[in-house]
Each structure stands twice: as C-alpha cells, then as structure tokens.
Amino acid sequence: MPVAVLKQGRPNVGSKIVNSVSILASTYSCLIPVILVLGCHHNDGVPWDSDHPIDTATDTETTVDTETEPGARFVQIAVGGWHTCGLKDDGKVVCAGLDSWGQATAPLNVSFVEIAAGWFHTCGITTDSTVHCWGGNAYGEATPPTEGGFARITAGLFHACGLKSDNTVVCWGDDYYYQVTDPPEARLTQIDAGEWHTCSVTTQGTIECWGWGDNGETKPPQDDSSFAQVATASDHSCALKTDGTVVCWGLSGDGEAAPPTAGDFIQVDVGGAHSCGLKNTGTCVCWGSNALGQSSPPGSTIFSEIGTGMYHSCGLTPEGTVECWGAFNSGAGSDPFRP
C-alpha cells in the first residue's frame, strides 16, 4: 500500500527548528541549547563536538527511590530522548534522566497499563483506557483527547498518537509536517511516533508512514512483505517482518538503517543514529553509531523488551529489572531502575 505523501511547499527543517526555539523560549528557556543540538548534527547523529557529548548536568535531572514499593517489579520500559521511564506491576511509573520540562516526573496517584516516552514529554494509558501525559506541552503534545478507548500509546518530539481499541488512530500536538492530521484511514495494529514523522502497521501487515520524509524515513519498502512492528526516531525507521527479519529505511550515515540479515528478531527499536533488535534468544544486538556506547549492550544479559533513546539504550529483563547502556550524563539509565 502507498505511504502517506509529504505535502509540498513546507519550510525546511532549519526553519522548523528556529520556529520551535522561538515558540518555546518564553516557556522553556533551557530548551534552546538542547534543540539546537538536536537540529544541528552530523549525519551520524553525533553532536558537533563528538569529544564533548551533550552535557545536561546543569539541567534538572530526576532520580527515583524505588524502595518505597519493594514488591513491585518493572513490566514495561519507555525510553525517551534523554530520559527513561518504567511501568511497574502495580501500575506506578518511575522515571530517571533529563527532567527540565517535567517529562521524568511521573504522576503519583495515577495507575497505568502502558507508557510511552518522547523527547520532552511522556504519556501513558490509564486503567480506564484514557490517556494522561506530562512534561513539555508547547504544541499541545501533553494535552491528549479526553475520551477513552485507547489501547496503545506513542510519543514523539512534539506530538503523540494513540491507537484505539477499534484500531483507529488519534494524534495530537505539533502538526507542522502533517504528522498529526495525515494518518492513514486504514485500521492499524501498532504505531510509533518519531521526531517529525509517524509510522504504523496496518491490520493487513503493511507499513504506513506520514509526516516529514526528506531523508526517506516515511518511505518503507514496497513489496509483499508482512510486518509485525515498526519503530521510528529522527531520520530513519525500522520494521520487524513476520519472518523475524528487520528492514530499515531513511538516513544511514552511520549504518543505523543497515540491520543484520539474520531472521531471528522479535522486536526492533531505533534511536538518534542507532538501532537495536531483540533476538528470540533474549539477547540484544545494536547497529549504527556507537560513539557513546549506545550500540554496545551487555552481551550476557537476557531481555524481554528493549528501548532506545537519542544516545542511550535500555532493556527489561524477565526478572523485572532494567539495564541501560550508552550516555548516562543525563541520568537516563541510572540506578533507580534497579528495584
């Protein structure tokens, strides 16, 4: 099936970054240096001065004392740009990492069944199937619809989307590149929001993408393959086929869109300029940029789920613990994830 076509006549990415900074500056002054780094990078996603990676130590960071719930274990992880959140089996959410916009300050009195971490905001589906978001909200990305019926949730840069129980999608937040108002009419089984684009898997097993796509990130392979899952980030996307192989498209300056050819994967996720896949053996394999160790998972650890951020990655073990690797200068993979 054809993918959503990016409408013509839109300003370039540089204009978008300038507009984002000017709009957010009055509310989130500390975003200016971060968003400029986000928009100005080499093709491999590494900051201009790769010897001095992004230092968020001067920004607000959150660490969480998990000893208050000694019996709870993690059942899901959500890895954002520079923060990570974990959902416990008691419905509580704990986060660590960059928290300058409140994205790592989870609500205390809300019980969740699924969570998703974006760049500067976080969302979750509550036990009554409604969506609750927190963090940056300059474009309405943390102001979801009030109705219920949501089954899946995903968060991108300045937008978020929810998949409803009838397999339809609802998106909110920034729509500068039509990443909110151009979703497909097809019924969907899974969805993932990236920086300025979104991709989904339809009930027919095909991939549909929409939003910004100048690097090919909205142009999945057009063949007879059947897909089970899709993952997006900044300039590339990857998808898991039903035969266990992974295919990627978009920018691949550091090999982030060049996955291994083996057909034994059960999940895939993508970060700023790297990607990771979970094998059916429970081991994690990553490819792409490894400048900060984000593509070097612990080889002996068995995972049940993985997630990737801009410069770090994490995995959830079958025992309900979380291990992270890569850039920890924002605390995104710190000890709070060891209950």
DSSP string, 155-195: E-SSEEEEEETTS-EEEEE--TTSTTT---SS-EEEEEE-S
In a domain, 107, yes or no: yes
Q: Is 8 domain-assigned?
A: no
What mean pLDDT is predicted for residues 181-191? 94
Quick check: is 7 in a domain?
Answer: no
What CATH number did the domain enclosing 329 receive?
A: 2.130.10.30
Overall domain count for the chain? 1
Encoded tokens for 181 = 């108002």
What is d(CA 312, CA 98) in angstroms, rounded to the nearest whole number? Answer: 12
Residue 205 pLDDT > 80: yes
Of the pLDDT bands very low, low, confident and very high (cuts 50, 70, 90), residue 321 is very high
Name the burial class of residue 150, with classes exposed (0-12), middle (13-18) and buried (19+) by CB atoms within 10 angstroms of its CB: buried
Helices 13-25, 31-39: crossing angle, 10 deg rounding: 170
How does the average pLDDT of the chain come out, rounded? 82
How would residue 238 be classed by pLDDT, with cut points 50, 70 and 90?
very high
Q: Is 3 within a domain? A: no
**Cα 285 to Cα 295: distance, rounded to the nearest angstrom:** 8
Can you give the residue range of the structural domain that contains 63? 13-337
Whether the pLDDT of residue 52 is over 60: the answer is: no
Within-domain flag for 22: yes
5 belongs to a structural domain: no
C-alpha separations of 191 from 165, 314, 338 in Å: 13, 20, 29
Asked, for residue 2, whether it belongs to a domain, the answer is no
Q: Tell me the average pLDDT across 25-46.
A: 33
Q: Band the pLDDT of 327: cuts 50, 70, 90.
A: confident
Above 60 in pLDDT, residue 67? no
Q: Report the distance separating Cα 16 and Cα 70, nearest Å.
A: 45
In a domain, 277, yes or no: yes
- The position carrying tokens 């990553």 is 286
| pTM of the predicted protein model | 0.82
- Measured from the Cβ of residue 190, the count of other Cβ atoms closer than 10 Å reads 19
